Structure formats: C-alpha cells, structure tokens
Structure 1
Amino acid sequence: MREVPQRLAIGEARWPEDRALVERLFHDYVAWSGDASSPETMEREASRLPGRYARPHGCVLIAHAGPDPVGVAAYRRRRSGVCELTRLFVRPAFRGLRIAEELVAGLVDAASDAGYHAMVLEVGESMTIARELYALSGFVPDRSGAPSRPGLVVLRRVLGRTGRSG
C-alpha cells in the first residue's frame, strides 16, 4: 500500500467558507457511489449545509494533499448518543494512500470528543475494500440495525474517550 502523502492535512470544514467545497465533494461522492438518494434529496441537503453536519451534533472533515481537496467524510447525529458516519469519499487519484483511514480516525476522535458513545454506518455488501477499512477501524456488523435498503450492511463501533491508537 502506498504511504499517506507527507503534505496531507485533514481539518474540519469551516462554515460558511468551505460550504461550496463540501457541496462539490458530496456531489462527487454521490456520483461515485451510485447513492440511491434522489437528486432532489441531494440538492436539499446541499442547500442546507452545514445542516445536520454542524457542531455540536455533526462534523465534516476535509482532506487536502497540498492545496488540493482530495477527500471528505462526515458524521451526523442519528439519535441520542449515536452518530452516523456518512459521505466518506477519496478522489480516485488519491486512493490507496490511507487517506480514508485518516478521515475515519479523525471522525471517530471528533465524535468521541463530542460525547457520542457509538458510531454507525451503512455500506454496500459488495464494497469489499470499504468493509475491510471499517473492520480495521473497529466497526463490526450491527445485527440490531436494519439497513435503509437491500444490499446494505449496518456496521457499528463503540466509541470512547481513549483517543487514536497511533
């Protein structure tokens, strides 16, 4: 596996300065993932940014390799004490560099610091690489969670205030 770029910087989105950038990255995510969300749903979410991703209930992280935005990931409140990891996306030219791992670790830390006790997500059954990433990040199948549509698996990770493990 290739190494993380030395000039990789991951930071929290600033509102309203990063709104257009986050919207563009979210649209890239939807185009890449084939997300079944209707265009109207995506437009509504984009028009309300930061919306459910605003502090204290949510967070958006942006990865930059030098000046170039190369990835995004977010969480939002699902219910008391539980947040949902969503919109994890790394631009194709930057995949295999462990950027997604860094984004997930950053969100886990931020959600834990915000007081969440669990993080959940849905991932496609056929998305082997993503499922491996989530497993390495401590996510396990959540048999109690019903996916929003067929072909998805619900994963869960218990959060704590122990911080990142290197």
Structure 2
Amino acid sequence: MTNTAPRRPDLWAVTTADVTTPEALELLREYYYDVANRYYLLHLGREGTPEELETGLADSPSDDLAAPTGLFLIGRYDGTTHSCAGLRRYDATTVELTRVFVRPTVRATGGGARLLAAVDEAARAMGADRIILDTRLDLVEARAMYLRNGYREIPAYNSGPYSQVWYGKDLTVAAP
C-alpha cells in the first residue's frame, strides 16, 4: 500500500493515549502485522499465517507503555488515527522507544517527524535525558527516519532475537 495523502505536516497532531483503548490496540496490531510480515517474507518467503501473527502479538504485550513504567502516543492526521509510539523507562535517565508505526497510506506526510518530536517531549516530561531503541536491519525506512531525527547508532544494550541495530538520542543536546 502506498501513500495517498498529501504532504501536510501541519495536519498531524500527537497526544498521549491509553494503550488499552480500541484505537491503540488496532494500531499495535497493524504495527505488529507490518513488521512480522516483513520478517516472514525476508526469512521464510511468505507472510505469517493469522495464527502465527496473533500468537506473536499475544507474546509481545504493550501493557508496560502506561504509567508508571511508560507511556503511549497516538498520532492523528487530519483528525484520523494513523500512527503510534511507545516509551518505557529503561533506567533513571533513559527511556526506550518502541512500537513506532505510521500507516503506509500516510507515510511521507511529515507524521514520522512529528511523532518523534512528540516522543522527545514526552521523554523529557518523564525526566529522561536519553532515548534508546533497537530495530532490525531490514526496516530501512524506520532506520532512515531515526537518523534524520537525531538518533545515532550506539553499542548493543540488549540481545533481543530481533535486535540487529541500536540507536540513541541525547536529549540534552540542542537540535540543529
């Protein structure tokens, strides 16, 4: 599916949300299906079955993306829900970014940058001065978006089965 929306970053609004709402759960399901199917296609030459995808989703809960351990953000483009991101506390001054997703129909409209700007604000509000994340090498669009928005590759901080590259962003440094 390709982008069908005009590039209008001014139409994006991002707010915190309850990770258990129907709209949050729908976005999380789309996020999981998107990244899981890309993995299945790359490594197995096929998409995941509904059973595989639902089992994987159930094994990857997002309940820690709520106070006091984290928070969840939802982005709306022209009033319609289209993106999400989660933050979870990693340590006293660091939060981990996860579950970053922008629906394919609105990619390249400025939503990713707006979402990451809101992530920075939320992380600071949580008392963090650093954001970290892990991702896969095949998620090239996400990796490019992180680099465009001030993230830099860092040494591995975990050994997750899908962790192939790690990024960090220092929130104490002024944006260029």
TM beyond 0.5: yes
Residues 149 and 25 (structure 1), Cα distance of their counterparts in 2 relative to 1, 3 Å cut: same
State how far apart, in whole Å, the 1-side matches of 2:108 and 2:163 are.
25
Structure 2 residue runs without a partner (length 5+) = 1-5, 40-51
2:88 is aligned to 76
Q: What whole-Å deviation, never above 9, does each CA across 1:1-34 have from its counterpart, x for those lacking one?
A: x633543221111x38x61111110010000011
State how far apart, in whole Å, the 1-side matches of 2:147 and 2:130 are.
15
Structure 1 residue runs without a partner (length 5+) = none
Residues 109 and 6 (structure 1), Cα distance of their counterparts in 2 relative to 1, 3 Å cut: closer
Paired residues in the alignment total: 158
In the alignment, structure 1 residue 42 sits paired with structure 2 residue 41: no
Residues 150 and 88 (structure 1), Cα distance of their counterparts in 2 relative to 1, 3 Å cut: closer
State how far apart, in whole Å, the 1-side matches of 2:97 and 2:140 are.
17
Amino acid at match of 1:155: Y
CA RMSD across the alignment: 2.8
2:13 is aligned to 9
State how far apart, in whole Å, the 1-side matches of 2:35 and 2:27 are.
12
Percent of matched pairs sharing the same residue? 22
8 A contact 1:122–1:147 mirrored in 2: no
Q: CA deviation at 1:70?
A: 0.8
Residues 126 and 12 (structure 1), Cα distance of their counterparts in 2 relative to 1, 3 Å cut: same
2:135 is aligned to 123
Per chain length, whose mean CA-contact separation is higher, i.e. which structure has more relative contact order (CA < 8 Å, sep 6+)? 2
Compare 141-150 and 128-137 and name the one that shifted more: 141-150
**TM-score of the two chains, using structure 1 as the length reference:** 0.80
1:52 match: secondary structure = coil
